[in-house]
Amino acid sequence: MIIRPQLHWFRMLLAWRGSVLPELLPRLGLILLISLIALGVHDQVVRITANLSTTPFSLIGIALAIFLGFRNSASYDRYWEARKLWGRLLNETRSLTRQVLTLPSVPIDANETQAFVRALGAFSHALRHQLRGSDPSEDLSARLDKPLFERVMMSRYRAATIMLWLGEWVQRQAREGKLDAWTVHAIDRNLNGLSDVIGGCERIVSTPLPFAYSVMIHRTVYFFCALLPFGLVEGVGVFTPLFSVFVAYTFMALDAIASQIEEPFGTDDNDLALDALCAFIEDASRDLLAQPSLQKTAAKDGYLLT
């Protein structure tokens, strides 16, 4: 995710990282080549270009803009829902930490409390790795005791296994008389919140936008951009490459941005910065324990978080 202060309007025009322009350059180069071909053959093949007026392109362009706007809206809804789920994870983590610190009727051993809070920190990392399909062993081994680490690594859904252990921890403290029934109920509600976060994230990952819908828009964008120079060359002449590439950039960029944020848990420039969110969630719990902050995820190149 690109995180940086608001740029001056002129610097915004020149922004490169996170603009999807690097990804589009080969495609825009192809449109430029087609535009030059259309311009070059205009005098020799007048009938081809004369029959392609700008009217059908205007009608198709309006419809295409509406469809692209709808797709971007649907993709952003997925992105924003994902961000709200991780915001809820932060809230549930803080609440659980506060509850185990303040609600026990009999003080719980400090080592037991710290093990619970470390497991909460490991939960966010386990969920991040599950959503990205990456190896969580390094992050989890630094936060979990060896028996729990081995148990978690043997499971398929590691975040859910950590959540199960948190429930077992609560049950153990209740059997020892340190947590009463009302406290157990309050903590269990927050554990259910963690379960809702897992389910919500899994729903986003496992249910992309319908493939046929994405393919239809993708094909229409590229056919439209490839044919556009032949419709413009009769009216704008030598400026055909300029207008064709600019229009192509607009439509292709919208398509590329929607493709990126449709899967918000990845590592593209415009995806959620899950590494930074995990570090923030851990530090929020450690702050309640009056422990020093862990080193936060540093921004790459000064403004890019992963």
- The per-residue pLDDT for range 131-145, each reduced to its tens digit, is 999 999 999 999 999
Q: Which residue has the tokens 């309640």?
A: 288
Per cent of the chain over pLDDT 70 is 87
What is the dihedral angle through the alpha carbons of 109, 110, 113, 115, rounded to the nearest 10 degrees?
A: -110
Residue written as tokens 């915004």?
12
Q: What is the mean pLDDT of residues 258-274?
A: 88
pLDDT mean over 244-258: 90
Q: Give the model's pLDDT for residue 219.
A: 87
Q: Which pLDDT score is estimated for 290?
A: 85
pLDDT at 238 over 90: no
Q: Given pLDDT bands bounded at 50, 70 and 90, which one contains residue 94? A: very high
Q: Is it the case that residue 4 has pLDDT exceeding 60? A: no
One-letter-per-residue 3-state SS of 277-294:
HHHHHHHHHHHHCCCCCC
28-39 residues labelled b (16+ CB within 10 A) or e (exposed): beebbebbeebb
pLDDT band at 299 (very low <50, low <70, confident <90, very high): low
Is the per-residue pLDDT at 49 higher than 70?
no
Query: The whole model's pTM is what?
Result: 0.86
Burial 64-98 (b: 16+ CB within 10 A, else e): beebbeebbebbeebbeebeebbeebbebbbebbe
pLDDT tens, position by position, 60-88: 888 888 888 888 899 999 999 999 999 99
Looking at residue 23, what is its pLDDT? Answer: 86
More confident residue, 134 or 40: 134
The predicted model gives 37-46 an average pLDDT of 72
> Residue 191's pLDDT is what?
96
Lowest mean pLDDT among 93-97, 156-160, 219-223: 219-223
Average pLDDT, rounded, for the chain: 86
pLDDT at 92 over 80: yes
Task: For residues 75-104, give the mean pLDDT.
Answer: 95
Closest alpha carbon to 36 in 232, 250, 220: 232
Question: For residue range 181-234, what is the model confidence (pLDDT) as tens digits?
Answer: 999 999 999 999 999 999 999 999 998 888 888 888 888 899 889 988 888 887
